[in-house]
Amino acid sequence: MLSNKTPRLVIIISNGPLMIGKQELLAGRPAINIPLATPPIPLAAIATTIATGVNLTIHGIVTSASVDCVSHQVRDTVASDRKFQAFWTKSGLNISLINWPATEGDSDVSNVDCDDAFEKAKEFQCSDIVGIVLPINILDKSSPEKVRLQQAELEAYLSSLTSETQVLLVYRRTDEKGNILKTFNTLGTTLLVEGSDYESSFATFIEVIGGTIYLLAGIPCPVGVQLPKWSFMERFSQNETRSFPHNPSKDEVDWFQICKDATASENKQGIAVLTQRFTTLMSVSFKNRLWNKLAFSSECLIQLRGKPLECWLQILALHQLGNQEALGNVIEKLEEKFPKKFITSIARSLLLYKVKPDEALELLKDIDPTKIAVFHTLGIFGRMCLIVGLEEKGIEAIELAIKKRTVIPADRAQLANYFAKRDEFEKALKTLARVGIGGEISWQELRLRTLVALQLTDQAKQVASNIIKIKPTHAEAIRVLG
């Protein structure tokens, strides 16, 4: 006789679409749909980020394959490659996974690889938690008809569960016709949580999904994992003191040496895996402004292929870190490799704008921002132009960086400060966006000055409260708070 028991939580993750548009009902159950903020990352990185609740620069899993640090041969990623605990670690629960990467050798969980994942999942109805990863062949072009068929398969499986089973889906979003969305935040999450209702067009960081799983599963969430702040999750909140994660570890692999060896031996398969790894790490490090990690991942990519993008991002990282000695060395190498490119002139200006501003101006004055091929260069180019007196060019470059989504807070702050000095406070606030709500104290002071000038009292008080925590005697903050 079959049991009526179904899992307390089902997690389904895909790098492709699972449904048409935003579904208000899925398998007859109310659905909560939320976009996810993440740069494009491989499926193994998506699954492990969700399993751990931390950034891939922390958990270390990027692709389903890795280059072994001893044999230098390509192999499958295994559990020991993961540097942060997963939600199943020491949970004591019966957790069944299907097609989940980086689980081989993990004694806390069982994983099976299967093409017909939904049919296989029905065998695990007595498990506490079921996790399914649905790989989509990126060469198999998506179409609305394929998405409809995928949704039908999904709903058929979900219909085998009771309403007591919480469901969490992560997938690639589509429009109401089933076409993949051409948007910055391509991933979304859908939750089926009994008795809950919520709607949001604001994206949440993908790492928050890891914290959501801890709450839905009733597993104590460790320090370092961000918890969701959605109102419908309040009833799942955990009041006990959060413990430290089990045995987190640093990545001790000498990846740069592995990259050098792969290049020297012309290991094409290894080079391909390493290139995907460090391209992804470079992208995520830039997005999260992890300058040390950005410098390292860029250096590895320079070793593997040496394109202008990674050369520039290494320079950007070193500039943000204030490492002038290393900056000078890499700029010399850039000049040897790409002597006539715009990025080379812009890089050289970083060494001149303080001591020889006239020479920096000569390097920058004939560069058209719209002709710059490496978009990540635009922000610093704009900052340098503002400093050396090419104001119109500087404004155009930073505004273009904002449009291209390659702007960093330092770019926004410098342009906003330029506007504020000219009493153009509305432009300053628009340029700042969220810069100055926290972060560097000078950015907070700029935001406070702008809000005060615009008589936005409530917002000014919030910023002043943050400043007082850092500078208790800050005169303007005290005045704003009364």
Residue 429 to residue 400: CA distance in whole angstroms: 17
Q: pLDDT digit string (tens) for 372-391? A: 999 999 999 999 999 999 99
pLDDT given at position 433: 96
- CB burial class (10 A; 0-12, 13-18, 19+) of residue 263? middle
The mean per-residue pLDDT over the stretch 121-129 comes to 96
Residue 348 to residue 271: CA distance in whole angstroms: 31
The pLDDT-based confidence of 135 (bands split at 50, 70, 90) is: confident
The pLDDT-based confidence of 142 (bands split at 50, 70, 90) is: confident
Q: pLDDT digit string (tens) for 350-366? A: 999 999 999 999 999 99
The pLDDT-based confidence of 109 (bands split at 50, 70, 90) is: very high
The pLDDT-based confidence of 479 (bands split at 50, 70, 90) is: very high
pLDDT of 1 higher than 50 = no
Residue at token pair 């830039």: 286
Domains of the chain: 9-236 (3.40.720.10), 255-424 (1.25.40), 425-482 (no CATH)
CA dihedral 261, 262, 263, 264 (to 10 degrees): 50
pLDDT of 24 higher than 70 = yes
The pLDDT-based confidence of 3 (bands split at 50, 70, 90) is: low
The pLDDT-based confidence of 247 (bands split at 50, 70, 90) is: confident
Coil, strand or helix at 84:
coil
pLDDT given at position 202: 87
pLDDT of 14 higher than 60 = yes
The mean per-residue pLDDT over the stretch 160-170 comes to 96
Cβ(141)–Cβ(180) below 8 Å: no
Coil, strand or helix at 171:
strand
pLDDT of 342 higher than 50 = yes
For residue 33, what are the β-bridge partners?
Answer: 190
pLDDT of 411 higher than 50 = yes
The pLDDT-based confidence of 306 (bands split at 50, 70, 90) is: very high
pLDDT given at position 422: 97
**What backbone torsions phi and psi does residue 89 show, to the nearest 5 degrees?**
-60, 120
Residue 384 to residue 453: CA distance in whole angstroms: 27
Of 92, 116, 356, residue with least CA distance to 246:
92
Q: Which residue has the higher pLDDT, 201 or 22?
A: 22
Residue 175 to residue 306: CA distance in whole angstroms: 37
pLDDT of 9 higher than 80 = yes
Cβ(459)–Cβ(432) below 8 Å: no
pLDDT of 2 higher than 90 = no
pLDDT of 139 higher than 70 = no
Residue 285 to residue 291: CA distance in whole angstroms: 7
Q: Which residue has the higher pLDDT, 257 or 250?
A: 257
H or E element in which residue 169 lies = strand 166-172
Q: Which of 72-81, 136-145, 155-164, 351-360 has the lowest mean pLDDT?
A: 136-145
| Percent above pLDDT 90 for the chain | 89
Residue 263 to residue 457: CA distance in whole angstroms: 58
Tell me the CA distances in angstroms from 424 to 163, 180, 356, 436, 451, one per residue in order. Answer: 55, 40, 30, 17, 12
pLDDT of 42 higher than 60 = yes
Residue 125 to residue 431: CA distance in whole angstroms: 52
Q: pLDDT digit string (tens) for 432-442? A: 999 999 999 99
Q: pLDDT digit string (tens) for 442-451? A: 999 999 999 9
Cβ contacts of 31 within 8 Å, gap of 6 or more = 22, 23, 24, 25, 190, 191, 192
pLDDT of 77 higher than 90 = yes
The mean per-residue pLDDT over the stretch 71-100 comes to 96
Alpha helices in 305-424 (DSSP H): 308-321, 324-337, 342-352, 357-364, 378-388, 391-404, 409-421
Q: Which of 249-253, 256-260, 364-368 has the lowest mean pLDDT?
A: 249-253
